[in-house]
Amino acid sequence: MPRIFCRLLSVPLLFLAAAPAVAEDFTTYKGHGGPVMALDVSPDGQLASASFDNAVGTWPGPTWLDGHDAAVTAVDFSQAPALLSGGDDFRVLYWPADRSAPVELTKHQGKIGAIATDPGTGRIATASWDGSIRLFDTTDAAQPDFTMQELLGHRSSVTDVAFSSDGRLFSTSSDGTLRVWEGSGGQLASRILVNQGFGINRLIVTDAWIAYGAVDGATRVVDHEGQEIADFTLDRRPILSMDYHAGTNQLGVGDGHGFIMMIDTAEWKITRDFRAMRQGPVWALAFSNNGAVMHAGGIEDVIYAWPVELLDQYDPVGGETRSFLRAADSMPNGERQFMRKCSICHALDPGPSRKAGPTLHGVFGRRAGTVPEYRYSPTLDGSEIIWSTETINALFETGPDHYIPGSKMPMQVIAKPSDRADLIAFLKSATAKE
Catalogue all structural domains in the chain, each as residue range(s) with its CATH number: 4-313 (2.130.10.10), 323-430 (1.10.760.10)
Residue type, 402: H
Cα–Cα distance, 47 to 243 (Å, whole number): 14
3-state helix vs strand vs coil in the chain, percent to 5:
15, 40, 50
Q: Give the phi and the psi of residue 365 in degrees, each rounded to 5.
A: 90, -5
Residues ≥6 apart with Cβ < 8 Å to 75: 38, 39, 40, 48, 49, 50, 56, 83, 84, 85, 86, 115
Looking at 19-82, which runs of residues are DSSP E strands?
Answer: 27-30, 36-41, 47-51, 55-59, 63-66, 72-76
Q: pTM of the full predicted structure?
A: 0.85
What is the predicted pLDDT for the residue at 139? Answer: 57
What is the predicted pLDDT for the residue at 351? Answer: 77
Mean pLDDT across 170-175: 98
Please give the helix or strand (H or E) that residue 333 lies within, else none: helix 333-341
Beta bridge partners of 135: 125, 149
CA distances from 48 to 241, 285, 377 (A): 15, 11, 25
What is the predicted pLDDT for the residue at 7? Answer: 36
Mean pLDDT across 57-72: 95
Of 93-97, 319-323, 327-331, the range with the lowest mean pLDDT is: 319-323
Is the predicted pLDDT of residue 9 greater than 60, yes or no? no
Residues ≥6 apart with Cβ < 8 Å to 149: 134, 135, 137, 186, 188
Per-residue confidence band for 142, with pLDDT thresholds at 50, 70 and 90: low
> Which phi-psi region, left, alpha or beta, contains residue 140 (left: φ > 0; alpha: ψ -120 to 50)?
beta
Give percent of the chain with pLDDT exceeding 70: 90
Is the predicted pLDDT of residue 11 greater than 80, yes or no? no
Summary mean pLDDT of the chain: 89
Q: Are 49 and 36 in contact (CB under 8 A)?
A: yes
Mean pLDDT across 370-397: 91
Q: Model confidence over 92-129: pLDDT tens digits?
A: 999 999 888 999 999 999 999 999 999 998 899 999 99
CA distances from 336 to 52, 150, 325, 340 (A): 21, 44, 10, 6
Is the predicted pLDDT of residue 168 greater than 90, yes or no? yes
What is the predicted pLDDT for the residue at 313? Answer: 87
Is the predicted pLDDT of residue 133 greater than 70, yes or no? yes
Q: Are 45 and 57 in contact (CB under 8 A)?
A: no
The residue that leads in pLDDT, 3 or 317, is 317
The residue that leads in pLDDT, 6 or 59, is 59
What is the predicted pLDDT for the residue at 179? Answer: 98
Is the predicted pLDDT of residue 8 greater than 60, yes or no? no
Of 86-95, 203-212, 397-406, the range with the lowest mean pLDDT is: 397-406
Is the predicted pLDDT of residue 232 greater than 50, yes or no? yes
The residue that leads in pLDDT, 240 or 187, is 240
Give percent of the chain with pLDDT exceeding 90: 73
Cα–Cα distance, 112 to 74 (Å, whole number): 7
What is the predicted pLDDT for the residue at 322? Answer: 60
What is the predicted pLDDT for the residue at 341? Answer: 87
Per-residue confidence band for 18, with pLDDT thresholds at 50, 70 and 90: very low
Per-residue confidence band for 301, with pLDDT thresholds at 50, 70 and 90: very high
Is the predicted pLDDT of residue 13 greater than 70, yes or no? no
Question: Around Cβ 399, how many Cβ atoms within 10 Å?
Answer: 17
Of 48-57, 93-102, 162-171, 202-211, the range with the lowest mean pLDDT is: 93-102
The residue that leads in pLDDT, 124 or 185, is 124
